[in-house]
Amino acid sequence: MNSKQEKNEDESIGSALSTGLYWSHNIISATLEFVIFLVIGYYLDKYFSTSPWLLLIFGGIGMFAMFHRILQIAKEAGKEHESGKKDE
């Protein structure tokens, strides 16, 4: 194997790792948005003794935030996919 082939393999591994880290970051952040709102709702319910209403309200807000994040990620991926097709 020559050095050019080894360099191309290293770049593809780096690119795959970068893509994996990008997607894992986005998935974790979308999930955390939902979980954080649930936790806030849970503790506010305990504080105000309004169980389960604030948990449900904040859970709904968290779910909206999570789906909004997922739609943003999908929109970005669609733009990248379209720009990749134009380059071909």
Residue 84 CB burial class (10 angstroms; 0-12, 13-18, ≥19): exposed
Q: What's the CA gap between 7 and 20, in Å, rounded?
A: 20
pLDDT tens-digit readout, 34-62: 999 999 999 999 999 999 999 999 999 99
Instruction: Kindly provide the b/e burial profile for residues 6-17, where b requires at least 16 CB atoms within 10 angstroms of the residue's own CB.
Output: eeeeeeeeeeee
pTM: 0.74
pLDDT of 77 above 90:
no
* pLDDT the model gives residue 2: 60
pLDDT at 17: 86
Tell me how far CA of residue 25 lies from CA of 13, 31, 32, 43, in angstroms: 18, 10, 10, 27
Q: Where are the domains positioned within the chain?
A: 3-87
